Amino acid sequence: MTKQVAFPALGWPIVVGISVVVFASCVLLGSASHADAPDGKFDEAAIAALSGGQLIKKLPVRVVGPEGRPVSGVQVTPWALRSSQGHGWWRDDSDDRSELDPTVVTTDTEGLATVEYPFYRDAAERTRTIGVSVFANHPEFAFPDAIHIDVPLETSTPYEIELKLGVPLVMQVTLDGKPADTENLFAIWSDSRSWSSDTKVERLAKGGLRIPPMQEGRNSVLVVRIENDKATHFSKRTDFDLAVGEEHKIEIPLAPAQRIEGKFSDVVPRPVRQGRVVLWTLSPADADQDRVQWTTWVPVHEDGTFTIDGWPDGEPIQAIAICDGFIAKSGKAPSEVTDPPDPEKDFFNRPQVFRSGEAVEIAMKPMVDWQVTTVDEDEEPVAGVDVASWPNVQWWNDGSQVYAGYLARSEILVQTHDYQGSLDDTYPPPFQGTTDGSGQVTLQLPFGEESLTVISEVYELPVFLGRRSVKIESNLDQTAEVTLRLQPSGTERLGEWDKLAGVVFGCSTREGRRICALPEVREKMDAFTKRFREAKNQQDPQLLSEAYTTVAEAFAGVGDLEEATKWHRRAAEQSAKLKAENE
């Protein structure tokens, strides 16, 4: 029989056969499953192909307490996966690229549990999973930071996770000097358990809130009062130190939420179309990376004005903004940033910062209209494919994300503990569009260097240096046009580049780090990347032939003859292409 599986990120179905296959002493049914085999005695890629394109792998873990004793009843939640293409969220829906859902497991009386993960991080591209990120949650212990595990394990023993004793926090929340009614009070605190749907804040008498045990050391908390999904009162973002022992008690006064009005600069013609502003709080320079943050977004009216009804009183605002044809200018580093980047070399878009009491006028600038044309191998236009880019914003003293790509409100998230469910889809995703009958689409992108990719069930971009994307750069004296030449889907797979990508992209894999540690190999890889950075035409067959030969020699130098043969073959293909062009 067959089943329909949604193609990750693209939303189209593929058919996966369900069959029983006898392979050596294993019986495979559907998506096959077996424990990791460090000695590599199984050809897992072949098994995956026989069992429908994916293979369920097993990661044994053992959870212990401070004295090494096993802890039962620990929820172990896999939430992210790593491949040669990077580290990313493992979605629990049909859109995930692995085509498998993560499953929460619970440790037994011996502290043991088995986490299942996909052999391929991306089933279609056949990029292998090389890391699994998990959370380990037990209500009587502190919640550890995210645990990142290289897979497959190199030993036959389970991966050990140690839980530490925690410190419960009791807050006495007051409003106008009196104990607050706890019914509409919600809290965010500085560990990821704060966002778990299984975590409940205990509501006590006389304005009391109890938070599950937290790690000793520096922590922070924010309390908010919410009515009808609107924040009416906030506490300060309160920092405190915890030591293992009795529960910690602090008093948390609430103050009315701040109402902030702002506008776009006059460079944006009125009426403003599709305008929105995303806002984050700003942490001090010495703050831990897990310090509590508050974020929200608001639409922009046609006259360019906007209103933030509820913001923590006195908190600085980091703001980014976008509308049809315009994007906020990159902001200057605030005093809280101790090592500001050089604006001339900073490839991130940065938020503008506004202090309490300052007028909020967001400086805007035009975006570039990129005319993108997609053609097939016969130079015929390709209609109906999605073309997308992903400019990023780097928040000051915090992480990065696609610019205005995720519209979430902490007011909703703090109540639901469901990030995906809190995302608002009022506006279409920025920086993407679908080609028309002439194979053309116009994308509005920030000025400078960006990347493009194509999303389609029928066509794909060729892989170049382990990435299925094309870099573009807009210049003032040139028309922003680009033609993307596509090939039928499945012509090649990113998984074929796994080993090279793990070395070239910052020695990002366990195997890549081992190779990079060898001086003679590192020298060859440095030469490889240097040639491409300096090349005027990175698609030049002579350049590719010589570069691929360098890669082949590097892998041969570490005894990986299979990988070396693959890159010698690619070098030969480019040499043949060069010869044909010269005839």
So where are the chain's domains? 2-162, 167-256, 259-485, 494-582
Tokens 């780090």 correspond to what residue?
A: 513
> Cα–Cα distance between 455 and 372 in angstroms, integer?
14
**Model confidence over 404-414: pLDDT tens digits?**
999 999 999 99
> Cα–Cα distance between 445 and 432 in angstroms, integer?
9
Q: Which residues pair with 56 in a beta bridge?
A: 33, 118
What backbone phi and psi angles, to 5 degrees, belong to 572? Answer: -65, -40
With 0-12 / 13-18 / 19 or more C-beta atoms within 10 angstroms meaning exposed / middle / buried, residue 115 is buried
**DSSP calls for 438-489:** TSEEEEEE-SSEEEEEEE-SSEEPPPBTTBS-EEEE--TTS--EEEEE-EET
Burial code of 372-399, b = ≥16 C-beta within 10 A, e = fewer? bbbeeeeeeebeebbbbbbbebbbbbbe
* pLDDT value of position 260: 96
> Cα–Cα distance between 354 and 282 in angstroms, integer?
10
**DSSP calls for 176-210:** TTEEPPGGGEEEEESSGGGG-TT--PEE-STTEEE
Q: What is the CATH number of domain 167-256?
A: 2.60.40.10
Low-confidence residues of the chain, pLDDT below 50? 1-41
Tokens of 524: 């060859």
> Cα–Cα distance between 283 and 376 in angstroms, integer?
49
* pLDDT value of position 501: 66
* pLDDT value of position 504: 59
> Cα–Cα distance between 374 and 485 in angstroms, integer?
6
Task: Please tell me if the domain spanning 2-162 has the same topology as the one spanning 259-485.
Answer: yes
Q: What is the CATH number of domain 259-485?
A: 2.60.40.10
State how beta strands 317-323 and 295-299 pair.
Answer: unpaired
Q: Helix count (H) and strand count (E) of the chain?
A: 8, 44
Identify whether the C-beta of residue 63 lies closer than 8 Å to the C-beta of residue 113: yes
Tokens of 101: 């859902």
> Cα–Cα distance between 248 and 287 in angstroms, integer?
20
Cα–chain-centroid distance for residue 567? 30
If we measure between CA atoms, which residue out of 176, 165, 172 comes closest to residue 187? 172
Burial code of 453-476, b = ≥16 C-beta within 10 A, e = fewer? bbbbeebbbebebbbbbbebebee
Sheet with 440-445: list strands edge to edge: 440-445, 368-375, 481-485
**Model confidence over 378-417: pLDDT tens digits?**
999 999 999 999 999 999 999 999 999 999 999 999 999 8
Residue type, 296: T
Q: Which spans in 51-114 are helix H?
A: none
* pLDDT value of position 29: 30
* pLDDT value of position 288: 79
> Cα–Cα distance between 533 and 170 in angstroms, integer?
55
Record: fold of 2-162: Immunoglobulin-like (2.60.40)
> Cα–Cα distance between 231 and 242 in angstroms, integer?
28
Helix, strand, coil percentages in the chain from 3-state DSSP, rounded to 5? 15, 40, 45
User: For the chain, what's the residue count?
Assistant: 583
Tokens of 69: 């004793």
Q: Which spans in 394-455 are helix H?
A: 410-416, 419-422
Identify whether the C-beta of residue 107 lies closer than 8 Å to the C-beta of residue 76: yes
* pLDDT value of position 520: 66
What backbone phi and psi angles, to 5 degrees, belong to 451? Answer: -130, 150
Diameter of the chain by CA atoms? 88
Dihedral-angle region of residue 506 (phi above 0 means left; psi in -120 to 50 means alpha; beta otherwise): left
